[in-house]
Amino acid sequence: MARASSVKDVAALAGVSLGTVSNVLNRPDRVSPGTRGKVEQAMRDLGFVRNESARQLRAGHSRMLAYVLLDARNPFFTDVAEGAERAAEAADLSLFLCHSDNRASREGDYLAHLVEQRVQGILVTPVDPHASVLGDVRRNGTPLVIVDRTRDDDEFCSVAVDDVLGGRLAVEHLLEQGHTRVAFIGGPATIGQVRDRLEGARQAWAESGLPDDQLVVVPTEGLTVVEGRSAGERVMGIGRKRRPTAAFCANDLLALGLLQQLSTAGSTVPGDLAIVGYDDIEYASAAAVPLTSVRQPRQELGRRATELVLDEADNPDHRHEQVVFTPELVARRSTLG
């Protein structure tokens, strides 16, 4: 494979000047049909492909968007990515996914590379939304939007969902179903989401007037199926009288693990324990017992984040905006007996 051919090669073969080739590429109307034909033929003959690096160098920025995400295995993030992908497509940009796998170092490497690449914009669900690395990106002139996380300042655009409200919705639903002992399953508390959902749960609980200690917090070390199973053992290990009759899980993976654990142990859902999940991922409705869950507008998150990052890139009057979406409870068999 010889060196790829350039506009110069095309020009030589077509017997025209380099400028004309460029015109065929970028303003075909300015060039006569005859020469255009010759040029296009030459391009085909040589298998000419634009060199995007050179284009970018000239233009000052690339036609790429990137989404740096925490966990490619979590359908929540891939759904967000799908929304972003569609918005990117509509703007004639390509969206690339970068998997940080929850590691700050990898996240940092990707962000650095993307800034060097002069991408149009970056969406990121960061390991730590307050890490200075995000500020560095901005300082270097690359628009950046925080997805599914928030900061307590307004230095960045962000899109997120009201997790406190989500927590309220879940617990209010369980209260309506007559439960008076409820477990909150989730952790670690370092994750803002987990804290907010618990906070919402507590607010709803306080308003119910039930004793505080009947809302039991069962901590987990992560938001995974395996952790859900382990939490299930702990919940069902509580003595009959003090055992919760319902559980609100900080995400659906936990809820699925919990469901599996109960099913393995011969307990029934919602008979022995009602379950509410969070995220409403596809597996939630397809579970053995379809799962009640708090739905977030996932694709919408990605779409809006993309719009914001493009506004930051294109609009000189851009103002940072913190968008907060409203979650919605989807009731299914796991709480409806």
Partner DNA sequence: TTGTATGCGTTATCAC
Partner DNA sequence: GTGATAACGCATACAA
- The binding site for its own copies (CB under 8 A) comprises 1, 3-4, 47, 49-57, 60, 62-63, 66, 72-73, 75, 78, 81-82, 85, 89, 94, 96-99, 101, 106, 109-110, 113, 115-118, 139-141, 225-226, 229, 257, 259-260, 263-264, 282-283, 286-289
51 binds DNA (CB under 7 A): yes
59 binds DNA (CB under 7 A): yes
x/- string (CB under 7 A) for DNA, residues 9-48?
A: -------xxxxxxxx-xxx--xxx-xxx-----------x
Which amino acid does the sequence have at 116? E
Whose Cβ is closer to DNA: residue 49's or residue 189's? 49
**Residue 66: which of its own copies, DNA, none does it interact with, CB under 5 to 8 A by kind?**
its own copies
Out of 54, 189, 286, 324, the only residue in the binding site for DNA (CB under 7 A) is: 54
User: How many helices (H) and strands (E) in the chain?
Assistant: 13, 12
> Min. distance of Cβ 189 from its own copies in angstroms?
24
Contact 220, 212 (CB under 8 A): no
Whose Cβ is closer to DNA: residue 49's or residue 286's? 49
HSE toward the beta carbon, residue 224, CA cutoff 13 A: 7
Spatial distance between the Cα atoms of 326 and 160, rounded to a whole number of angstroms:
9
Out of 1, 2, 47, 58, the only residue in the binding site for DNA (CB under 7 A) is: 58
> Min. distance of Cβ 288 from its own copies in angstroms?
4
**Residue 30: which of DNA, its own copies, none does it interact with, CB under 5 to 8 A by kind?**
DNA
8 binds DNA (CB under 7 A): yes
**Residue 314: which of its own copies, DNA, none does it interact with, CB under 5 to 8 A by kind?**
none
Alpha helices in the chain (DSSP H): 7-14, 18-26, 33-46, 52-59, 75-90, 104-116, 132-139, 163-176, 192-208, 225-237, 252-264, 282-286, 298-314
Which amino acid does the sequence have at 331? A
β-strand 144-147 against 157-161: which pairing, if any? parallel
> Min. distance of Cβ 114 from DNA in angstroms?
15
Out of 1, 3, 152, 178, the only residue in the binding site for DNA (CB under 7 A) is: 3
**Residue 8: which of DNA, its own copies, none does it interact with, CB under 5 to 8 A by kind?**
DNA
* Planar angle of CA 241, 242, 244, nearest 5 degrees: 110
What phi and psi values does residue 160 have, to the nearest 5 degrees? -155, 180
**Residue 62: which of DNA, its own copies, none does it interact with, CB under 5 to 8 A by kind?**
its own copies
Contact 289, 259 (CB under 8 A): yes
Q: Which residue has the tokens 């460029």?
A: 22
**Residue 19: which of its own copies, DNA, none does it interact with, CB under 5 to 8 A by kind?**
DNA
What phi and psi values does residue 323 have, to the nearest 5 degrees? -90, 130
Contact 13, 41 (CB under 8 A): no
* Planar angle of CA 285, 234, 172, nearest 5 degrees: 50
> Min. distance of Cβ 72 from its own copies in angstroms?
4
x/- string (CB under 7 A) for DNA, residues 64-103?
A: ----------------------------------------
- What SS3 class is residue 70? coil
Q: Give the helix/strand (H/E) hosting 295.
A: strand 292-295
Which amino acid does the sequence have at 202? R
Whose Cβ is closer to DNA: residue 18's or residue 133's? 18
Contact 275, 291 (CB under 8 A): yes
Residue ranges that bind DNA, judged by CB under 7 A: 3-4, 6-8, 16-23, 25-27, 30-32, 34-36, 48-51, 54-55, 57-60
